[in-house]
Amino acid sequence: MTSPVALSTESTSIAMTAPVASQQIDGQYRVAFMMPSSYTMETLPTAENKNIRFDQLPEQRFYIWAFGGSATETKAKKQLVRFEEALTKQGIVS
């Protein structure tokens, strides 16, 4: 994943962080960058583009299951079952 970055002498440099989320809505793309926890809403740099805004979302926990190869529908369904079994075994979901 790469993203265009513009720099000027007045910019605040922020290291690229993950995750980056994107979605298409009504033919337009929305891209969300998760900012480092060292920033607050008050300390984030000011966006020069009026289409850029900062929103604070509630804290969430995500679990990731990685697998290799092509993600065919059949393989993805099998991996989802394995993932759910692993989460259940660890007491994360019931």
Q: For 21-75, what is each residue's pLDDT tens digit?
A: 778 888 888 888 788 888 889 998 888 888 888 888 888 888 889 999 988 999 9
Position 34 in a domain = yes
Our count of domains for the chain comes to 1
44, 37 Cβ separation under 8 angstroms? no
Which band of pLDDT confidence, cut at 50, 70 and 90, is reported for residue 81? very high
Give me the domain span that covers residue 60: 20-89
Q: What value does the mean pLDDT take over residues 9-21?
A: 64
Which band of pLDDT confidence, cut at 50, 70 and 90, is reported for residue 4? low
Q: Would the pLDDT of 90 be above 50?
A: yes
Position 33 in a domain = yes
Position 45 in a domain = yes
CA separation for the pair 57, 91 (Å, rounded):
26
Cα dist from 16 to 3, 34, 70, 87, whole Å = 9, 9, 27, 30
pLDDT value of position 2: 47
Q: What value does the mean pLDDT take over residues 2-22?
A: 60
Position 12 in a domain = no
Instruction: Enter the pTM of the model.
Output: 0.47
pLDDT value of position 3: 53
